[in-house]
């Protein structure tokens, strides 16, 4: 355990130094996206009732986590593959799980400012009175970890060009066709059925229900579904990382 922790801290330091010029830019982009969704999407609606405000307010941090984990992180992996950094990491005499843990830590820290500012902006913009649950921290961590695990699974398993295209597709689906900023019943029946098997809807539900606790309590379904997706993503990622060169 001591060896793993030492490897993790060294890898965390090395990754931070390697990305020191990119991390501020990614932080700014993620923050602007999260805040922009709260403000910009409200301009598209003539009137905003309480439910709409709640969806926009909780959807913004969810989309921020998805963007970091399933878009920015995979694109950085694609770049690392092109530069040879990816193969170099696999030759290091450190646990593969420590490499993944260090990367996930960086993306989680990158997400935090956007989450805080998005919620603050939403509270001021819509005058919301949130009923925050103690489960909000586990919910955000699970959503972030699931998004990053899936993003890494795709970027590790496919060529860089394909990973970049998939990440762009994720942004398109999450922004326009996923029940994150609006209720699922606004989608066609067939698309509602599709989203019952995808993680986006459950990410939004986990965040929304823990920020504004429903009267009937928080459902365990989103947490269970996201856990399954997270395990699958981590398993694929670690499988590729431990595969022989």
pLDDT in tens, 83-112: 777 777 667 777 777 877 888 888 788 778
The pLDDT tens digits for 56-84 are 888 888 888 898 888 888 888 887 778 77
What tens digit of pLDDT does each residue of 19-60 get? 777 777 777 777 777 777 777 777 777 777 888 888 888 888
> Does residue 148 register a pLDDT over 70?
yes
The chain-wide mean pLDDT, for the chain, equals 84
- pLDDT of 188 higher than 60: yes
Mean pLDDT of 118-138: 82
Query: The whole model's pTM is what?
Result: 0.88
Quickly list DSSP for 44-102.
T-S---HHHHHHHHHHHHHHHHHHIIIIIHHHHHHHHHHHTHHHHHHHSSS-HHHHHHH
pLDDT at 244: 53
- Let me know the angle formed at the C-alpha of 109 by 41 and 152, rounded to the nearest 5 degrees: 85
- The predicted pLDDT at position 50 comes to 82
């Amino acid at each position: 355990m001591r060896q793993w922790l030492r490897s993790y801290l060294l890898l965390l330091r090395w990754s931070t130094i390697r990305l020191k010029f990119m991390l501020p830019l990614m932080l700014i982009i993620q923050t602007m996206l999260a805040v922009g969704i709260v403000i910009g999407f409200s301009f598209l609606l003539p009137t905003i009732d309480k439910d709409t405000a709640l969806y926009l307010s909780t959807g913004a941090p969810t989309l921020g986590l998805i963007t970091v984990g399933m878009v920015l992180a995979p694109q950085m992996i694609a770049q690392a593959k092109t530069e040879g950094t990816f193969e170099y990491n696999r030759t290091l005499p450190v646990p593969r799980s420590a490499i993944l843990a260090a990367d996930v830590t960086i993306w989680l820290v990158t997400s935090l400012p956007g989450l805080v500012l998005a919620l603050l902006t939403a509270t001021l913009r819509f005058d919301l009175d949130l009923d925050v649950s103690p489960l909000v921290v586990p919910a955000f961590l699970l959503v972030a970890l699931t998004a990053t695990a899936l993003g890494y699974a795709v970027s590790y398993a496919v060529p860089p060009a394909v990973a970049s295209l998939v990440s762009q597709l994720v942004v398109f689906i999450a922004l326009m066709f996923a029940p994150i900023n609006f209720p699922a019943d606004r989608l066609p029946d067939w698309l509602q059925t599709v989203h019952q098997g995808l993680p986006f809807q459950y990410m939004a539900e986990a965040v929304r229900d823990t920020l504004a606790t429903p009267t009937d309590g928080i459902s365990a379904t989103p947490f269970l579904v996201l856990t399954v997706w997270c395990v699958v993503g981590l398993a694929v990622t670690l499988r590729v990382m431990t595969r022989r060169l």
